[in-house]
Amino acid sequence: MSLLIQTILNGLLVGGLFVTLSIGFSLSFGVLDVVDFAVGEWVMLGAFAGVASTTWLRIDPIAFLPVVFVFFAVVGWLVAPLIYRVRNSRNARPALMALAFTFGLATLARGGMLTAVGFDPRTVKIGVVQGTVTLGAVEIPTLRLAGFAFAAVATGLFMLFLYRTRTGLAVRAVAQNKEIAGLMGVDVKRTSNFVYSLYAGLTSMAGVLIGGIYSITAQDGPTYTLMAFFVVVLAGLGSVGGVLVAGLVLGVLESLVTVYVSADFTLAIVFGILFLVLVISPRGILRRGTA
Amino acid sequence: MSVLTARDVVTGYSGVEILHRVSAEARSGEVTCIFGPNGCGKSTLLKAVAGAIRTWQGEVALDGEPLTGLASHEVLRRGVALMPQGGGIFPHLTVRENLEIGAHTVRSRADREARIGEVLQENPRLADRIRIHAGSLSGGEQMMLAIARALLVRPSFVLFDEPSAGLSPKLAGEAMHRAASLAERGVGVVMVEQNIREAMRVADRIYILAAGENRFEGTPAAIESDKQLMELYLGASA
């Protein structure tokens, strides 16, 4: 029994990070109208930025998080106009071209990192949070607790921004209808760039903590892309509230499968469940998606 | 007095040309109506003027200042607003959020609040429903919201794409008269309408488009005296 509680708790804690890496992905999908295949690469690159901070700079990765955010937000800011341009071009099939473009970006990131650091798995050594916290019969790794705390704060701030600020309202309007948002005076292109930039920064920060909890290799990006897909599809495309639930569900599922079945079956089982959910409720678990 | 002009506008969607050199002019304080059969390019003309779609050739100008090539948010900042077909409210945002996004270009928060306050005072029915999603308003309420929202930025010209569409005859007349009454306040009103009889009563100037080209330009009286025109393009056997 205590193993079950332990497993569910571990899953919930990691699930927080899945929420963080999916929430920006979901929103940038809404705003740019492109599924960003590079989402997992932002996680991978963030994790390696965390590795770099300890090995080269000897700075604790937690203290390095703001630098990771700013750096990848700038990279996102530079990449976003390219995606926007491909997506809104007058050439044939801009949606498909944009999808191919982000797939290319992902391949470039993965190939570049494989060349630079090879296939060896690395772990982000987070020194400030080590050991475990004991709560009755269960032991919680402090790192996972810190990861969850980070996820809760980051996601909370993100939601505050979305639902309490003028720019956040503009972002939600653009996600709902670009043409009308433009007619209301919202600069759609600038809003798209801004959201992508914010998302790249947020997801990379989550990557630092994910790289601390799991080991990471340069070719792990697609795994996290699949995770983000799972969360966003389960949530219902475009539903921010659904992401909060679906991310935690994924964390628990992954944790249960790893402990009670085998880590090798994680993706198979997780996607089998997604398949069933989509057959039963195609608009996502909260039935609020746009699909 | 302000003048909004479209001269020899050519545009369309995904490579298909819809408007073939269409010209029109609207003045502040007047109601300019655009009629024509379905698919003749009325909505396309409004979208091109408002910058929602790109103008391929020709020119759009406000008091001689070119608007051609500007994005819709830039056109709005110059004082030309478009209320799209169906009102274009955001169904998943609340009534209040719809009004806030309508006032997006108003920089000062206090000013935004004051303008929204005014709107709510004029539309008590909206004030009662301020926190609910705009998508659950009735069709008439949605149109009221859309019209009120278009005015928050105090535009010098408002382009209405069928303010009466999908409404009951009573509400349709109300929506159209509300839109037309803006002209009394000095706003230039441009209206695309299917409800020709009602619209003829409020129009100062009328354009008829057919197959993406200008077919007629003149006053309501001039149209009414032309039986052939009435029958051909307006489907009215008067």
Q: Which residues of A touch B105 (CB under 8 A)?
A: 184-185
**Phi–psi pair at A82, nearest 5 degrees:** -70, -45
Q: Among all residues of chain B, which has the CA nearest to that of A93?
A: B14
Closest CA to B49 of B177, B173, B207: B207
Nearest CB to A173: which of B82, B101, B105? B101
| CA-based R_g, chain A, Å | 19
Q: What is the DSSP letter of B37?
A: S
| Residue A27 burial by Cβ neighbours in a 10 Å radius (0-12, 13-18, 19+) | buried
Q: Which domain holds residue A28?
A: 24-221
A38 falls within a domain: yes
CA distance A224 to A40: 4
* pLDDT confidence band for B237 (50 / 70 / 90): very low
Give the number of other Cβ atoms within 10 Å of residue A32's Cβ.
26
Size of interface A-B (CB pairs under 8 A): 67
CA dihedral B46, B50, B53, B59 (to 10 degrees): 90
Minimum Cα–Cα distance from B78: chain A residue: A185
Of A176, A183, A187, the CB nearest to B84: A183
ipTM of the complex: 0.91
Other C-beta atoms closer than 10 Å to the C-beta of B157 total 25
A197 within domain boundaries: yes
**Is A7 within the bounds of a domain?**
no
Question: Is residue B85 within 8 Å of residue B167, measured between CB atoms?
Answer: no
Could you read off the pLDDT of B173-232 as tens digits, one per residue? 888 888 888 999 999 999 998 888 888 888 999 999 989 989 888 888 888 888 777 777
- Cβ distance A240 to A195 under 8 Å? no
Give residue B238's pLDDT band: very low, low, confident or very high (50, 70, 90): very low
- For position B38, what pLDDT does the model report? 83
What is d(CA A47, CA A217) in angstroms, rounded to the nearest whole number?
9
The two beta strands, B157-161 and B188-192, are parallel
CA B229 vs CA A31, A65, A235, B209: distances in Å: 46, 70, 55, 11
pLDDT-derived band at B234, boundaries 50, 70, 90? low
Tell me what pLDDT residue A130 has: 79
Contact assignment for B93 to A169 by CB distance below 8 Å: yes
CA distance A181 to chain B (A): 8
Which residues does B234 contact at the CB level (< 8 Å), separation at least 6? B35, B196, B208, B223
Q: How far apart are CA B211 and CA B34, in angstroms?
A: 13
Whether A173 and B90 lie within 8 Å, measured CB to CB: yes
CA dist B97 and A163 (Å) reads 10
Q: How far apart (Å, rounded) are the C-alpha atoms in residues B220 and B204?
A: 7
Strand intervals (E) in A129-225:
132-135, 138-141
**In this structure, are residues B71 and A178 in contact, taking their beta carbons and an 8 Å threshold?**
no
Among the listed residues A115, A145, A119, A73, the one whose alpha carbon sits nearest the alpha carbon of residue A216: A119
Distance CA B156, CA B4 (A): 10
Nearest by CB to residue B90, choosing from A176, A187, A189, is A176
3-class secondary-structure state, position B21: strand
The nearest CA of chain A is from the CA of B238 a distance in Å of 38
- A189 contacts in chain B (CB < 8 Å): 71
Q: What does the block give as tokens for B22?
A: 């269409």
Candidates A173, A185, A188; nearest CB to B105: A185
- Rounded to the nearest integer, the mean pLDDT of chain B is 90
| Domain count across chain A | 1
Nearest CB to A183 within list B52, B97, B100: B52
CB-CB neighbours of B7 under 10 Å: 14
Whether the CB-CB separation of B162 and B85 falls below 8 Å is answered with yes
Between CA A170 and CA A27 the distance in angstroms is 12
- What is the residue type of B47? K
Q: List the single residue in A172, A177, A183 with the smallest CB-CB distance to B72.
A: A183
- What is the structure's pLDDT at A288? 53
Contact A166 B76 (CB under 8 A): no
Q: Which residues of chain A have pLDDT under 50?
A: 290-291
In a 3-state reduction of DSSP, which class is residue A40? helix
Q: At what angle do helices A188-213 and A142-164 cross, to 10 degrees?
A: 170
- Give me the pLDDT at residue A291, please: 36
Which residues of chain A lie closer than 8 angstroms to B88, CB-CB? 177, 179-180, 183
Let me know: does B61 contact B80? Beta carbons within 8 Å.
no
The pLDDT > 90 percentage for chain B reads: 65
- Hey, which residues does A141 pair with through a beta bridge? A132
Q: What is the pLDDT of residues B143-167, one digit of tens each?
A: 989 999 999 999 999 999 998 888 8
Quote the minimal CA–CA distance from B98 to chain A in Å.
Answer: 9
Q: Is residue A2 part of a domain?
A: no
Interface of A with B (CB under 8 A): 90, 166, 169-170, 172-173, 176-177, 179-189
Domain B3-88+155-234 indexed as CATH 3.40.50.300: yes
* Interface probe with A: pick from B104, B108, B142, B158, most Cβ of A within 10 Å: B104
pLDDT digits (tens, 9 = 90+) for B110-127: 999 999 999 999 889 999
- The residue type of A219 is Q
Output the pLDDT for position B204.
93
B175-to-B79, B143, B171 alpha-carbon distances in Å: 22, 7, 6
